[in-house]
Amino acid sequence: MDIEKVKNGEWSLTELYEGYDDPAFTADLREIDRLISLAETQSLALEGDPKDVLCRLLDTREKLTELIGKLGLYISLRQSACTTDARASSLMDQLSGKLSMLAAPETRMDQYVAGLGNLEELIAADPLLTDYAFLLRSTKDAAKYLLSAECEEIISLYENSGSSAWGNLQSYLTSTVPVQYRGGTITLSDVRNLAYDPDPQVRKDAFHAELAAYERIRDAVAFSLNSIKLEVLNRCRLRGFESPLAETLYQSHVSASTLDALLTAIREYLPRLQPFYRHKAKLLGHEGGLPWYDLFAPLGAADEKYTKEEARDYLIERFSSFDGELTEMVRTAFDEGWIDFYPREGKVGGAFCAEAFSIRASRILTNFAGSFNDVVTLAHELGHAFHNLNLYDNRPLNRDYSMPVAETASTFNETLVMSDAIRRAEDPVKRRALIHEQLSGDLQVICDIYSRFRFESAVFENRDESFMFPSELCDMMLAAQKEGYGDGLDWTEPHPYMWLCKSHYYSGGLSFYNWPYAFGGLLARGFYACYEREGADFVPRYKRFLKATAVMSAEDAGKVAGIDLASADFWRSGLETLAREVEEFGELCRRN
């Protein structure tokens, strides 16, 4: 562990490698070459007992997955902490080039699995194949979307200089653009953090400074978005997917009927959720809707400031009544350098959690400024880490869960923290502030995420016919936001550049990374209701669900937890709890 970095609030990466010149790092890069060559050789010699062939192929893929995961994680973490790290960019390009060489052998393997008429017999005959039953069955089913090995290799190679490069451009521009604020220059992460400042004039000035910064980079980022989405559309057509959304649902192991049930329930409840913003607007002295610059304004008793040590103690106390394993993991994450806390020039914005299975750990990036919202963000990312922890003992190829379930443990952690804080609050002003804090987050994953889904849908619908310049993208973003927020916001002070600053839009291999947040948020709400009813008896079932997410469809994993995800009534049950909180918040605002 790098003790000095940990003291300064940075993560420790020495558990992975000592640096780019670490002999272990260079040896692992060479080992990837050897394993890729072996995978190529094995994929061209698919003869003999199918059971033995499958076991050899899976063994090689396991080794590659673990090694690529370790190397890729180290390089990406270095790059996220410092986007101007030229060595990291070069090494990531080098690694991506190596991975492109896997497209052909992996396609041959997948085609081999698809052609096995006795796959079920083979699965039943060998423990390794039994462990990988879900993977093998999914591979056989996915063959209908596979192109030839040569075509898959070409697509993989061109993604390096296509969507991947365009995505890196968006990340680079948003992390390095200078923001002119009150006579000085700060980063985009810094100015966005000011949205939580208790001073209303600071929030307003920061908001306008943020929008002005986007004006400087909007053309380049618009080209990034247009190029990525066109690549996705063309790839979907080549592979036979009806649409990018159909591809995402397939990759997510979620049925269209489940997504329809979720969106139907959300649309029904939006009119009962949107008044939250008007209640807040009135409390802050606005007439009508809430200006965007006050969307994250703190309210009274919930706007305390925390050091990272205070955040650690707060979270440990809150989680201790739920599960000892989670509590100990949180303690370890803070004490052993899992977390990179503070914003700085060149560091990417936002927050994320990355699994580090090779060292049975995770690494978390935040831009911690000490607000209560930042503490909740830490709880969220530590939820991802807890999900990872429950997968430590899965085989290497059984640790990859899909997008929708990926947000469940994180949002459940948020709900644990916030519900406990609200329950303890006896003072009405404190209770109002905490309910506000919880609703601010929960409604973001309903109203805002719904608007992001509508925006990305519109982008895909339009991209085939036209190139969308920044002004058109801004108009589309505003139209989508009006669907999500309704009359809850003041549309004379909108944020038309939400398409520019959200990295989720800029992945060629991961479209529609928006509705999974609503999915995970409402799923977590439902799980928390189960926990309130069952207490400690619920915890083992919850952990079994987390473990199952990597080896089952979302619907089947839901059955492990005893719920029907394809029922709109299930999603309505979570939304109803939110609607009641909005009503209570409105009443508290009127009384105080």
List pLDDT tens digits, range 191-215.
998 998 989 999 999 999 999 999 9
pLDDT at 526: 83
Weakest mean pLDDT among 108-117, 142-151, 280-289: 142-151
pLDDT at 295: 95
Enumerate the domain spans of the chain.
3-142, 168-303+422-591
**CATH architecture designation of domain 3-142:** Up-down Bundle (1.20)
Asked if 3-142 and 168-303+422-591 have one fold, the answer is no
Q: What is the mean pLDDT of residues 528-535?
A: 87
Residues forming beta bridges with residue 340, ordered by sequence position:
365
CA 322 to chain centre: 24
As given in the structure block, the two tokens for residue 576 are 């109803």
The pLDDT tens digits of the residues spanning 261-304 come to: 999 999 999 999 999 999 999 999 999 999 999 999 988 755 57
pLDDT for residue 3 is more than 80: no
Within 347-387, strands assigned E span 352-356, 361-365
- The chain-wide mean pLDDT, for the chain, equals 92
Phi, psi (degrees; rounded to nearest 5) at 582: -60, -40
Binning pLDDT at 50, 70 and 90, where does residue 350 land?
Answer: confident
pLDDT for residue 159 is more than 90: no
Weakest mean pLDDT among 64-73, 371-380, 454-463: 371-380
As given in the structure block, the two tokens for residue 9 are 């609030």
Cβ neighbours, 10 Å, residue 27 = 9
Cβ pair 329, 361 in contact under 8 A: no
Cβ pair 452, 502 in contact under 8 A: yes
> What's the topology of domain 168-303+422-591?
Neurolysin; domain 3 (1.10.1370)
DSSP percent split of the chain into helix, strand, coil, nearest 5: 70, 5, 25
Residues forming beta bridges with residue 363, ordered by sequence position:
354
**Amino acid letter, residue 409:** A
Dihedral angle sign, alpha carbons of residues 65, 67, 69, 72: negative
Dihedral angle sign, alpha carbons of residues 483, 443, 542, 510: positive
Instruction: Please give the span between the terminal C-alpha atoms of the chain, in angstroms, as a whole number.
Output: 50
As given in the structure block, the two tokens for residue 61 are 């893929």
In angstroms, the CA 89 to CA 81 distance is 12
pLDDT at 382: 97
In angstroms, the CA 276 to CA 289 distance is 10
Q: What is the mean pLDDT of residues 556-567?
A: 91
Looking up tokens 């390794």 gives 128
As given in the structure block, the two tokens for residue 528 are 């928390």
Cβ neighbours, 10 Å, residue 271 = 12
Cβ pair 500, 218 in contact under 8 A: yes
Q: How far is CA 207 from CA 414, 474, 493, in A?
A: 26, 16, 10
In angstroms, the CA 249 to CA 515 distance is 11
Question: Full-prediction pTM beyond 0.85?
Answer: no
Q: How far is CA 320 from CA 14, 316, 364, in A?
A: 29, 6, 21
CA angle 6, 11, 15 (to 5 degrees): 100
pLDDT at 553: 93
pLDDT at 437: 85
Instruction: Classify burial at 76, counting beta carbons within 10 Å of its beta carbon; exposed 0-12, middle 13-18, buried 19 or more.
Output: middle
In angstroms, the CA 215 to CA 500 distance is 10
Q: What is the mean pLDDT of residues 402-431?
A: 89
Weakest mean pLDDT among 146-150, 151-155, 159-163, 483-487: 146-150
pLDDT at 67: 95
pLDDT at 592: 67
pLDDT at 303: 58
Contacts of 153 (CB under 8 A, 6+ apart): 100, 101, 103, 104, 107
pLDDT at 301: 56
As given in the structure block, the two tokens for residue 464 are 């085939």
